[in-house]
Chain A
Amino acid sequence: MKLEEYQGVWVFIEQNDRVIEGVSLELLGAGRKLADKLNVSLAGVLLGEGIKPLASEVITGGADEVYVIDHPVLKDYRTESYMKCIMLLAEKYKPEIFLYGATPNGKDLASAVATDLNTGLTADTTMLDVDVDNRLLEASRPAFGGNIMATILCKKHRPQMATVRPKVMKALEPDTARAGKIIEETISLAEEDMRTKVFQIVKDVTKKASLAEAHVIVCGGKGMGDLQNFGLLYELAETIGASVGGTRDVVEAGWLPHHLQIGQTGETVTPKIYFAVAVSGAIQHVVGMKNSEIIIAINKDPNAPIFDVATYGIVGDAMEIIPKLIEEFKQVPINQGGEISYA
């Protein structure tokens, strides 16, 4: 493999129902920085049916080029059809770095593509950088084995691939003045050759409304002691119109269902206000919430790592603090429109 034949940073633009996923725009933001450092172009790869109009959004999002394959067989995501397109493009244009959102479909696609391209893939990355001298992607993720990060490198294979967690990178402000090139490719795909068929997609609205989109989150940790005490957090959440989430330990204790877990193996959240109550602040948790605007930590251990990421910290017993907070908030009328005012 001649490594120097491979050039440019690519981002897989995931669209569902002709709407580009947020993580793809975030990756254009992150990819832009990598491409500028390496002094190469940034390209988006857009696949689907009737998706050509989305190409301009990829350019305003930061790309110099967009590779588009528009085909009826690509209407719904399927590993086999999507990977055929990616293989065609990657073998023809040879990117050196290729990023995917760590969504169910993004991970599925990247895993299949990495196998066929016989290259390295880093899963669930939360930090990205490049070693410019060696043209190496530095993809970092929390390591199993401690509150530490591991940087994964792929030295001798190209493209260097990574899936990246949603909501950890920042999208750019759309720049409508940006110019870019749209490169359309054709592929021959026949529905009869497909070994999978998508019959029906039931959109999951409940999940999105609960955590990822929440403005205020009350997250409880194992330190709440038991399910009954954990109930205090629901009361607080209700009083202020927040959503409730938890750490993995809380989910494993059965106090919350898995889809409310926040962290590396749960949801990544970026609310305006995040209450971390009796949460120790393990790195696997912190990577899922540290980009919240205001973090309020309540923990009885003054040395708990959660205080390192907190905007405001209260050292104290949650069982004492939370009821008091609920009382205080109950004094504050919260209007229908969402405005809070002192009476």
Chain B
Amino acid sequence: MHIVVCVKQVPDTKIIKINPKTNTLDRRSAPAILNPYDAHAVQEAVKIIEKTGGTISVLSMGPPQATAVIKKSIEIGADRGYLISDRAFAGADTLATSYALSKALERIGKDLPVDMVICGKHAIDGDTGQVGPGIARRMDIPPVTNVIEVTEVNEQEKTVLIKRKSTNGNELIQADLPCLLTVEKEINNIEYSPLPNMIKAVRYEPVIWTVADLENVECTQLGLKGSPTIVGKMFTPPKPEGGKRLEGSSDEQVKQLMGILMEKKELLTLQSSK
């Protein structure tokens, strides 16, 4: 079994704060981290390979500093890491990103055929969730998104049994291998990294490829040039008027609010199911 996990380096939006006055990010306090959903993707690959045996590769696209998230993935249990890094990739939207990653996957697959690709459900900086299915289409393998459990991998039959969140509930799906999964956080808990992994990670040097290392690449499909979407404008949404401020002591304010709500008591009906 060869699983490739696609990972992304993102600013930590948990720590990053928005200054409400200027509406901008306070970047000083934002370290770069492994996208949390991708950490769960690596962890799931580790869980699968523990049962089946095999190899876990991680693949990232980004600046040279993004090697940090590959090292982090090695800590969790990945065997190999690949970074594609080139100015030609810069400014990519989801379409151009899935193109570049699929070309790198092609290259990785030449050395060792890929049985499964796992991505996080989305990256916390862009929040789109579009890259995973895009890669699957480009590789012509079935995508299964919003996965909450990998129930069973059947290597003989080359199938995998998966639970995913669909629009109105959970589905049990069987997919042929190779396939691509995008995983939710609830799929697993991130385990403490074993010491040997930590040591390996410190010394680990990922393979770094530029565009020239990839094959059959159409440069017009890369980066800004290959991105059909652009940001037209940024704006602060028109401020609504704001409503009525209640006045007085806290007791008086509470009384006023009760008065208002009692006039609209038809809205405060009990919920039918509780």
Which residues of A come within 8 Å of B, CB atoms?
14, 16-17, 21, 76-77, 79-80, 83, 103-108, 110-112, 114-116, 118-124, 127, 136, 138, 140, 143-157, 195-204, 209, 214-216, 240-243, 252, 258, 264-265, 272-273, 280, 282-283, 290, 293-296, 303-305, 307-317, 320-321, 324-325, 328-329, 332, 334-342
Contact = CB atoms under 8 A, between A and B. Distances in A.
A114 B95 contact: yes
Q: Which 6 A-B pairs have the closest CB atoms?
A: A338-B269, A120-B228, A111-B133, A123-B128, A120-B229, A272-B267
27 contacts: A77-B167, A104-B164, A111-B94, A112-B134, A114-B134, A115-B98, A121-B130, A123-B94, A136-B232, A143-B231, A147-B236, A149-B235, A154-B230, A195-B175, A198-B172, A201-B172, A202-B169, A204-B165, A242-B271, A243-B271, A252-B14, A307-B243, A307-B245, A314-B253, A317-B250, A321-B250, A325-B257
A316 B250 CA distance: 7
B208 to A, nearest CB: 26
Contact of B142 (A79, A154, A156, A314): A79
A200 B171 contact: yes
Interface residues of B, number: 85
Contacts of A314: 245-246, 250, 253-254, 257
B268 A195 contact: no
Given A272-B267, A312-B257, 16 more contacts: A14-B167, A103-B167, A104-B165, A104-B167, A107-B130, A115-B98, A123-B129, A127-B237, A156-B228, A157-B228, A201-B166, A202-B171, A294-B267, A312-B246, A324-B250, A334-B270
A104 B146 contact: yes
Interface in B48-74: none
A150 B126 CA distance: 12
Interface string B71-102: 00000000000000000000001110010000
B253 A310 contact: no
B120 interface: no
Main secondary structure of the interface of A (DSSP, over half): mixed
Given A106-B167, A150-B231, A200-B171, A311 B243 contact: yes
Contacts of A204: 165, 168-170
A311 B14 contact: no
Contacts of B23: 146-148
A209 B94 CA distance: 34
Interface of B: 13-14, 18, 20, 22-25, 93-95, 98, 125-134, 136-138, 141-146, 164-176, 179, 185-186, 227-237, 239-246, 250-251, 253-255, 257-258, 260-262, 264-265, 267-271, 273-274
A198 B170 CA distance: 11
A83 B137 CA distance: 10
A132 to B, nearest CB: 15
A69 B98 CA distance: 29
A237 B137 CA distance: 46
B150 to A, nearest CB: 14
A21 B167 CA distance: 9
A120 B93 contact: yes
Contacts of A153: 229-232
Contacts of B94: 111, 114, 121, 123
Given A146-B25, A151-B233, A295-B243, A312 B260 contact: yes
- Among B130, B170, B172, max chain A CB count under 10 A is at B130
Given A107-B129, A122-B229, A316-B250, A340 B265 contact: yes
Nearest to A322: B254
Contacts of A283: 237
Contacts of B250: 314, 316-317, 320-321, 324
A309 B264 CA distance: 19
Contacts of A121: 94-95, 130, 229
B145 A107 contact: yes
Contacts of B245: 307, 312-315
A101 to B, nearest CB: 8
Contacts of B93: 120
B236 A308 contact: no
A136 B233 CA distance: 13
Contacts of A140: 235
Nearest to A338: B269
